[in-house]
Amino acid sequence: MLAAILLGAGTAPAAAQSYHDIADASAEADGFNGVMLVGKGGRIAAVEGFGRADAGNGVPMLPNTRFETGSVSKWIASIVILKLVDQGKLDLDAPISRYLPDYRADTGARLTLRRLMSHSSGVPNQILAARKDPATRGIEMDQMEAVRRYASGDLAFAPGTAWDYSHSNWLIAKAIVERVSGKPYAALVDRLLVKPLGLKDSGVYRGDSGAVRGMAQGYAGLDPEPVRKPNPVPDFMAMAGGYYTSAPDLMTLMNAVLDGNFLRPASRRALTTILMPDQHYALGGRVRVAPIGGREREAAWEDGSNGGFRMLARRVLADGHMVIVFTNASFDYQKLGDLGTALLDASYAAGADGARQSPEH
């Protein structure tokens, strides 16, 4: 097994070995192939790659290997939107007809960004059915054309009265952001997130992510032979699933957003305020109270998948204990969750020893 590990100079050896042993056991028993990161209070305790990023070319998994994030892209998009709110360019509770006067008037007057971002809008998930058709899976089109085709149906319920996970919400949100800013979404991510935070391995892709330098390849499986499992993301779905990153970059972003001044306090509260309690859903992602490290703790709780990629990110809001796990070979969801839980629990068992600032890489 190929593995690369990066640990701080002051890392407690027993703690670092514990994280390695947990992930290595998952690799041996369950075929975990990916990267795990454990962080504490804004510092990396351990980050390690297991297996192969590109099985066809024998490229090992490295700590800064890039991965698709799947639906965690929605959480990223929420941060971009909140940055525009902080700049006075958007209002989460204004009718979307203010920003898209060409959207259908009867529903445009009832929909808001807050409802779109919390999947409580009632906009039906028309894009999901369309994406199941191989003929339309890789098609590109203008953003407003995508909105007209896949995000303009009659509302399934009155906004705010129910919850339905609909990618179509994010087609509308992207159209609004691009209309208001006058910039493509990918350029906004670069200007508002990547450059200010010094992210080195993050951005927005379109089509097959395999063309991105330093990106892991997604697989249906690796044995007996690797079988690629791409699921191209068209540009009009970039908010729903087009963000890529590395584990250290995602930690940097989460720390800045959840425990820094990157967002104004009101926007940070909005990002973590649960709007749909039955789903633990806030804006673009979840916040859960769960047993972590021996007691109940509140955590940002993000999960994503696309093609062969699976990932999770958990960050305890009170103290910054964090785990990030990326995989690229269709790893079982339950086993992924179990691995994340074991690593996060171990970070509390290890105490506060041996962490360091996020590395240059």
State the residue for tokens 């896949």: 150
Distance, in Å, from the CA atom of 278 to the CA atom of 224, rounded to the nearest integer, reads: 42
Q: Which of 108, 193, 208 is nearest to 155 (CA)?
A: 108
Query: Span 275-297, mean pLDDT?
Result: 98
Fold type of domain 3-72+185-357:
Beta-lactamase (3.40.710)
Contacts of the segment 267-275: beta carbons below 8 A, 24+ positions apart: 267/82, 267/83, 267/85, 267/86, 270/82, 270/85, 270/92, 270/114, 271/78, 271/79, 271/82, 272/300, 272/317, 275/114, 275/118, 275/120
Q: Pull the structure tokens for residue 28.
A: 């041996």
State the residue for tokens 């409580």: 120
Give the model confidence (pLDDT) of 235-269 as tens digits.
Answer: 999 999 999 999 999 999 999 999 989 999 999 99
* Residue 1 confidence (pLDDT) above 80: no
State the residue for tokens 């027993």: 14
Give the model confidence (pLDDT) of 53-64 as tens digits.
Answer: 999 999 999 999
Mean pLDDT of the residues in the chain? 93
Give the model confidence (pLDDT) of 61-96 as tens digits.
Answer: 999 999 999 999 999 999 999 999 999 999 999 999
Q: Categorize the per-residue pLDDT at 137 as very low, low, confident or very high, splitting at 50, 70 and 90.
A: confident
Does the pTM surpass 0.75? The reply is yes
CA 292 from chain centre, in angstroms, equals: 21
| Cβ–Cβ < 8 Å for 240, 171 | yes
Residue range(s) in the chain whose domain bears CATH number 3.40.710.10: 3-72+185-357
DSSP 127-143: HHHHHTSHHHHT----H
